[in-house]
Structure 1
């Protein structure tokens, strides 16, 4: 990935992450001010934190390659949908879809509907 594209992704994460946090009704979680004993990747995360991470990842996918392409449905977008379905089924997927629609607009929300078609009870 080119440096300019990488900078764009980082900026999108920062800006959209903050917007998503406000829309979800909670503030962004600050990182620890101390050195954790184990890496954050190995640390268990609660469902809200994981949902935030997945929303941030969807924002990056939407701003870089999109949920759909000429090759078909983005595989990572589908993996995220499947993880959300395992968390709390259709309700969790609807919650995330609502945030995507509010923050990224109707076109991106519709693309997400199509990309998630067939995951759990989701029908795009």
Structure 2
């Protein structure tokens, strides 16, 4: 194995520093890794402004033709975009993507499946 085989590919970077450039970058990032099962293209990236801060988010469509949330990013000075943990999403996302929040915050997100946890 040569040293060149061990070198990771360069990290992608946005083309520019505009909001549109960052939205396109977020879209490219989400297209390059595993997504939520049953959520398909076309994917879209948009910006939601909340309390003076921009949040860039990427959505897709589920099999029932409902828009689903894939990822939310914050602008970061060193890393361009930083993915947020679901519990950090600002409250407006709860209204926009109720179905996704219902799953995230459900006491039993997988429903009655017959599985039990062993202690």
Length-normalised TM-score, structure 2: 0.32
Structure number with the bigger relative contact order (C-alpha 8 A, sep ≥ 6) is: 1
- Structure (1 or 2) with the larger CA radius of gyration: 2
Query: Would you tell me which structure has more helix in proportion to its own residues?
Result: 1
Length-normalised TM-score, structure 1: 0.31
Query: Would you tell me which structure has more strand in proportion to its own residues?
Result: 2
